[in-house]
């Protein structure tokens, strides 16, 4: 009987050992993620999504370049493309060297902090461990944020097109991407004082779009309108050089926005990311429809560029609350954005604010609206209208003030505006000694074609 | 001995508790997926793929806009871009409000069903649980399908370009995307009567492309050819305004097709998705090669636009069976599609069917061919030629009939076609009061340049 | 008591059964991956990343087509677009039929091997199992490599633009993609003799870019410069037809490079992929900055096309060591690439090597530099400068030699160059009987606009 018992015991122990070994085997691949709440497979999938979104935000820079080129005159196209190339490339370098560590300074006073200087600070980071609860790796985080950073200055580029001096713009853009955007951004996304107060801005209606929009407004006020845009009596429309390019730009921006908003979930959480893409799409479609209808009603003709700006308006509007407003909230935010962009384009022309691509109506007006709309339509009761308003005001004061503090000395020293002769000749020849298009002699239409 | 036994018992219970706790820990993240067969990591990865494919299908709308703009005259470009912007934005809204719940009605009679109205029906869905065996979330499903929906109307847009009245087209497109496409789609993808009969259409050679193609054919018959396209004696070619735009459009369409077909796997299953991308690519390449060779042989010159249409022909052809035909089947389907598109472009010109971008040869002819080809080349013995033919006929009757039922009353009331003066002036000025391009005065070529 | 014991036994057995069933359930989805080191979720996520990267490399073909069209004259645009369409479609087919099995021949002598012929060899592969340690499926691997293959010939296309005979180019490109590239590639990536010697080329600075670049150099030497490019006294710049197209192309190429380099990790490993994307971005931005600064310094004007080529130069330069150099190494590689591209564009013009898009400076010069830079900046001590130099020389001899061996007989038989009359008229009319653009009569600028 003791033998039997010992055998039983052995048998039992053996079975236990097997069971525990099996369980351990299952746990093994997740050992490195012990501190995290997700499996390795989920971590990899999250990171794939975040890298995809990084690529999509990259596409937005191409979108802006095409939109601005299409909406302005062909004599300034090289200049616009050069500025967009500069902003992206210099912006990424500035953000790597300074910006990222200003924006996410870690332990600090909530207003200004700095985690370290240069590529060394980036290089010492631990990229092998899962970061942010397994949402992405450290370098994915950096690159995603770097792609965001340059967009703020790009917004300004459109508003000041066709008359700003290139070196002045380059200096401004560098300081804006390297210092202003990251410090302002740290107040909310870096865990600063506005975050502590409960201000909410999911993907940057305020932190990116209105920050760029305020700077655009200040720059346009300092620059004045393009020659010939306003006569004593009335506004003279200056048509863009290529509507296919403008359309290409807006569609690419919409595509990029899937990454801008979808990536702001900071993981590939299926429920949150897909919900965010749906609100983003509904708002964009609603913005276009409202802008199409209202401009058609006002002008009596269907207007392509207003419709395109309606898409962008809806996208900027939904950005602050894409994860938290209801579907009908998204629809309403988009519809109001579409009406707002048409109304403010007309208003700004009346008060003689010359903004060639409509950057201020789109990014500033709808950025403010979208941020406030979180206070109205959010399904999270902690989001309050007055806190949202406070955030809007803080960012307005800071962004407009700092833009002014950079641009005014530039106006006094380098000068902000090209000479009248250069503006008439076009910046392409005047500043770059080249031109954007050369189609040779126009061919006659084939015989018999109407 | 009783003490020993009690201790043994306690010890045993403790060990059991540990084991069960470990197992429970492992199961925890998958608790929400209890009914599903995939892990959370796999679910997240599946959903990332499906969101990526949604973005890729979105790109197809940009591709269509660029292709149509490039293939038509510059005096109608704004009109084309406006139509494409409208179809996408209005199409998404219609599909959200009505279409999705018409297409996937759940319990119904297999011919017509409706799961509910408006955004509320979407908003009450459970988006947090894994959906469709963990392939994607509910909202990912909706958005992927919404991006598909608008393509059917876009196909029509190209065929009727340069002469259709804008308001009539807008009404038609809205009804087509909101009602015709989803009801027809429900017969197969919603689990309706054609699905029950064993008809197979993997990603929409018939459900999307030929449905759009039949409507395009009806519209072209009702509209008639563009002024000056056919004289008594012969056909006058009307060259497009920009071949780079057309090429851009076709390459973007090919890219988007990776999502169109790859996403139709409805999960990121590595074997099926990658196989689908390979058949898709082989058919596109084969279509281009065959169209290139046959048009070169017939006309004696290498023809870019035929080659581009050959790519699209191969893509439409493979769409019905991309997951199920063999690799040599894919090659053959593509080659035949490439020949078919060249032959039918020539044929349609002979019978004076004026289709500015070749939408009917590409989407209708190759859509039918691809659907029948499933009956010839499928590796699944359940796919039969006659069932495929039955499906083709059902969709042809329904789509052509319903398109006729929408367009004829429009012809009688609003009118389908612009006036002769407007057509000669161009729709951009006539309907929109604007133009697409403005390159200023052409610069002289630099001295010394040939 | 026996009853009690039996009940205990039963109870215990039941509990065991449950525990084992639970464990089995957990193990089940991973059963197919028993031989692999990753979970099913990780495998799916890896494969999604690799399919995404495949799509991104596909986009590079569009990027090349747009860049080349924009950088050359409008009278040759159809020809360029046709060549790019041909290379991609014929290249994919050649690679499927021959190239893939030449490049990855399995057991062989390390110099030349062949795993099998035609689609059959592809079709018999086991696509259901996880491949390459769960990094991707078999067909994902094939398609990713196929997209790479065609790029090598595309590089040549830009350098020989505006004067090469179409049939000769088509024959050359087919042989180059189908035979030269895969055999040369097998020496390193297929595990051949250079791999055994320790040569390192992460994503193809040498295997793709310099292989294409050497062939471009040989072709340009055999072809001679475009008519009118060099007079007795000096070089006449021939401006491109559309800088927006060129910019579009370069931005698309940068985007595509995220897949080119990011996919060369051959899995979605979060640390490695994200690190690779960061070095890629830093080098591209640094290349643009250095090219911008050095060309501005030399010419006194900010030069858009040099800046764009600077982006490409940085990208080509980082490609060999994107996973292994430090961040400051990436910065330095990019900066040097940017200077090199400007210097070699000037140098090649001085020695009258006419390369319309700067393909040789970008792909050959920076490809060599990037490969050697691995020997200087790699964090892996096994990478040595002399081994890298050996690889550069081997690929130079092979690629230039084989390109010569293909092109010289073509020159003797079909002829490499179009006639003088055809070149002056433009290849579009001469070879294709069509033209790329038709904007109708230029509209007068609206009254009152400057």
Q: Residues with Cβ < 8 Å from C109, sequence gap 6 or more?
A: none
Average pLDDT (A133-144) is: 90
Checking if the pLDDT of A135 tops 90, the result is: no
What integer pLDDT is reported at residue A65 of this predicted model? 98
* Residue A304, min C-alpha distance to chain B (Å): 5
Out of C123, C146, C434, closest to residue B326 by CB: C123
* Residue B438, min C-alpha distance to chain A (Å): 4
Task: Name the nearest CA neighbour of C139 among B372, A96, B270.
Answer: B270
* Residue A16, min C-alpha distance to chain B (Å): 9
Name every chain C residue with its beta carbon within 8 A of the beta carbon of B75.
440
* Residue C94, min C-alpha distance to chain B (Å): 10
Average pLDDT (B392-396) is: 97
CB contact under 8 A, B85 and A16: no
Q: DSSP letters of B135-185? A: TB-HHHHHHHHHHHHHHHHHHHHHHTTTTB-HHHHHHHHHHIIIIIHHHHH
Q: Give residue-wise pLDDT tens across range A364-373.
A: 999 999 999 9
Q: Give residue-wise pLDDT tens across range B22-46.
A: 555 555 444 444 445 788 999 999 9
Structure tokens at C272: 């490695």
Q: Give residue-wise pLDDT tens across range B238-285.
A: 999 999 999 999 999 999 999 999 999 999 999 999 999 999 999 999
Q: Are A70 and A247 in contact (CB under 8 A)?
A: yes
Residue C121, chain B, CB below 8 Å: the answer is: no
| More confidently predicted of B305 and A13 | B305
Instruction: Give a three-class secondary structure readout of chain A.
Output: CHHHHHHHHHHHHHHHHHHHHHHHHHHHHHHHHCCCCCCHHHHHHHHHHHHHHHHHHHHHHHHHHHHHHHHCCHHHHHHHHHHHHHHHHHHHHHHHHHHHHHHCCCCCCCCCCCCCCHHHHHHCCCCCCCECCCCECHHHHHHHHHHHHHHHHHHHHHHCCCCECHHHHHHHHHHHHHHHHHHHHHCCCCCCHHHHCCCCCCCCHHHHHHHHHHHHHHHHHHHCCCCCCECCCCECCCCCCEHHHHHHHHHHHHHHHHHHHHHHHCCCCHHHHHHHHHHHHHHHHHHHHHHHHHHHHHHCCCCHHHHHHHHHHHHHHHHCCCCCECHHHHHHHHHHHHHHHHHHHHHHHHCCCCCCCCHHHHHHHHHHHHHHHHHHHECCCCCCHHHHHHHHHHHHHHHHHHHHHHHHHHHHCCCCECCHHHHHHCHHHHHHCCCCECCCCCCCCCCCCC
Residue of A nearest to B127 (CA): A271
Residue A81, chain C, CB below 8 Å: the answer is: yes
Q: Is C8 left (phi over 0), alpha (psi -120 to 50) or beta?
A: alpha
**Cα gap B62→B4, rounded to integer Å:** 78
Average pLDDT (B155-183) is: 96
Residue of B nearest to C46 (CA): B45
Out of B75, B307, B439, closest to residue C82 by CB: B307
Average pLDDT, chain A: 90
Structure tokens at B330: 């894919």
Q: Give residue-wise pLDDT tens across range C391-442.
A: 999 999 999 999 999 999 999 999 999 999 999 999 999 999 999 999 875 4
* Residue B207, min C-alpha distance to chain C (Å): 25
Residue B312, chain A, CB below 8 Å: the answer is: no
**Cα gap B337→B340, rounded to integer Å:** 5
Residue of C nearest to A46 (CA): C45
**Cα gap B88→A288, rounded to integer Å:** 10
CB contact under 8 A, C119 and B328: yes
What integer pLDDT is reported at residue B268 of this predicted model? 95
Out of A41, A436, A439, closest to residue C74 by CB: A439
Structure tokens at C396: 């130079």
Out of A41, A123, A242, closest to residue C45 by CB: A41
What integer pLDDT is reported at residue A38 of this predicted model? 85
What integer pLDDT is reported at residue C131 of this predicted model? 72
Terminal-residue alpha carbon distance, chain A: 109
What integer pLDDT is reported at residue A137 of this predicted model? 92
- The CA distances from residue B109 to A190, A352, B105, B112, B396, in Å, are 55, 61, 10, 7, 21
* Phi, psi torsion values for A74, nearest 5 degrees: -65, -15
Terminal-residue alpha carbon distance, chain B: 110
Neighbours of chain A (3+ CB pairs under 8 A): B, C
Task: Return the percentage of chain A with pLDDT > 90, whole number.
Answer: 78
Q: Where are the alpha helices (DSSP H) in B300-356?
A: 304-319, 327-350
Task: Name the nearest CA neighbour of B69 among A304, A95, C7, A161.
Answer: A304
Structure tokens at A84: 């967009």
Q: Are B403 and B347 in contact (CB under 8 A)?
A: no
CB contact under 8 A, A435 and C27: no
Burial class of residue B272, CB neighbours in 10 A (0-12, 13-18, 19+): buried
Structure tokens at B133: 């065996």
CB contact under 8 A, B56 and C54: no
Lowest mean pLDDT, pick from A2-11, A283-292, B123-132: A2-11
The answer regarding whether domain A40-432 maps to CATH 1.10.3430.10 reads yes
Task: Name the nearest CA neighbour of A194 among A115, A111, A112, A318.
Answer: A111
CB contact under 8 A, B247 and C81: yes
Residue A398, chain B, CB below 8 Å: the answer is: no
CB contact under 8 A, A81 and C278: no
Q: Give residue-wise pLDDT tens across range A139-193.
A: 999 999 999 998 888 999 999 999 999 999 999 999 999 999 999 999 999 999 9
Name every chain C residue with its beta carbon within 8 A of the beta carbon of A92.
281-282, 285
Q: Give residue-wise pLDDT tens across range A18-37.
A: 566 555 555 544 444 444 57
C-contacting residues in B 351-390 (Cβ below 8 Å) = none
Out of B270, B308, B437, closest to residue C140 by CB: B270
Structure tokens at A244: 């296919």
CB contact under 8 A, C307 and A86: yes
Residue of B nearest to C18 (CA): B20
**Residue indicated by tokens 């297409």:** B103
**Cα gap A168→A413, rounded to integer Å:** 9
Task: Name the nearest CA neighbour of B37 among A368, C44, A389, C57.
Answer: C44
* Phi, psi torsion values for B325, nearest 5 degrees: -85, 160
Structure tokens at A377: 């339509």
Average pLDDT (A106-110) is: 82
Checking if the pLDDT of A123 tops 50, the result is: yes
Structure tokens at B99: 């279409």
Residue A150, chain C, CB below 8 Å: the answer is: no
What integer pLDDT is reported at residue A6 of this predicted model? 63
Q: Are C180 and C402 in contact (CB under 8 A)?
A: yes
CB contact under 8 A, C119 and B327: yes
User: Whats the size of chain B, residue-wise?
Assistant: 450
User: Which residue numbers in chain C have pLDDT < 50?
Assistant: 25, 28-35, 442-450
SS3 content of chain B, % helix, strand, coil (to 5): 70, 0, 25
Burial code (b: 16+ CB inside 10 Å, e: under 16) for C436-445 equals bbbbeeeeee
* Residue C52, min C-alpha distance to chain B (Å): 8
Q: Are A32 and A129 in contact (CB under 8 A)?
A: yes
Name every chain A residue with its beta carbon within 8 A of the beta carbon of C437.
439
CB contact under 8 A, C59 and B302: no
Q: Residues with Cβ < 8 Å from A22, sequence gap 6 or more?
A: C23, C27
Q: Are B327 and B273 in contact (CB under 8 A)?
A: no
Q: Residues with Cβ < 8 Å from B28, sequence gap 6 or more?
A: none
Out of A146, A239, A433, closest to residue C301 by CB: A433
Burial code (b: 16+ CB inside 10 Å, e: under 16) for C56-87 equals bbbbbbbbbbbbbbbbbbbbbbbbbbbbbbbb
Domain boundaries, chain C: 40-432
Burial code (b: 16+ CB inside 10 Å, e: under 16) for C106-119 equals eeeebeebbeeeeb
A to C CB pairs, distance under 8 Å: 216
Burial class of residue C1, CB neighbours in 10 A (0-12, 13-18, 19+): exposed
């Amino acid at each position: 009987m003791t033998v039997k018992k010992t055998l039983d015991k052995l048998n039992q122990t053996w079975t236990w050992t097997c069971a525990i070994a099996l369980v351990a085997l299952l746990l093994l691949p997740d050992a490195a993620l012990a501190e995290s709440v997700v499996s390795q497979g989920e971590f990899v999938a999250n990171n794939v999504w975040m890298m995809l979104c990084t690529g999509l935000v990259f596409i937005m820079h191409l979108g802006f370049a095409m939109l601005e080129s299409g909406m302005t005159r062909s004599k300034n196209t090289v200049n616009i493309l050069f500025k967009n190339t500069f902003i992206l490339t210099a912006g990424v370098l500035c953000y790597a060297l300074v910006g990222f560590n200003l924006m996410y300074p870690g332990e600090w006073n909530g207003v200004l902090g700095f985690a370290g200087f240069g590529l060394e600070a980036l290089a010492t980071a631990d990229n092998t461990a899962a970061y942010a609860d397994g949402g992405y790796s450290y370098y994915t985080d950096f690159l995603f944020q770097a792609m965001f950073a340059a967009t703020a200055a790009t917004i300004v580029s459109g508003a000041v097109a066709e008359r700003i001096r290139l070196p002045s713009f380059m200096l401004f853009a560098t300081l804006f991407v390297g210092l202003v955007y990251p410090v302002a951004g740290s107040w909310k996304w870096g865990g600063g004082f506005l975050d502590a107060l409960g201000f909410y801005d999911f993907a940057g209606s305020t932190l990116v779009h209105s920050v760029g929009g305020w700077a655009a407004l200040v720059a346009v006020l300092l620059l004045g309108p393009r020659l010939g845009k306003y006569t004593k009596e009335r506004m003279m429309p200056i048509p863009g050089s290529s509507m296919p390019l403008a359309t290409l730009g807006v569609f690419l921006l919409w595509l990029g926005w899937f990454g801008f908003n979808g990536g702001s979930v900071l993981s590939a959480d299926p429920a949150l990311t897909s919900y965010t893409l749906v609100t983003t799409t509904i708002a964009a479609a609603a913005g276009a429809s409202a802008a199409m209808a209202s401009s058609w009603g006002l002008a009596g003709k269907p207007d392509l560029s207003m419709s395109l700006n309606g898409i962008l308006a809806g996208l900027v509007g939904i950005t602050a609350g894409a994860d938290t407003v209801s579907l009908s909230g998204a629809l309403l935010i988009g519809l109001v954005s579409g009406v707002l962009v048409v109304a403010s384009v007309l208003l700004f022309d009346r008060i003689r604010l010359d903004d060639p691509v409509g950057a201020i109506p789109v990014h500033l007006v709808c950025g403010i609206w979208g941020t406030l709309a979180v206070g109205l339509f959010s399904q999270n009761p902690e989001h309050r209208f007055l806190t949202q308003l406070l955030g809007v005001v803080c960012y307005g004061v800071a962004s407009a003030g700092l833009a002014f503090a950079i641009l005014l000395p530039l106006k006094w020293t380098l000068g902000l505006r090209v000479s009248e002769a250069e503006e008439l000749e076009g910046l392409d020849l005047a500043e770059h000694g080249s031109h954007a298009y050369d189609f040779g002699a126009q061919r006659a239409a084939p015989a018999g074609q109407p």
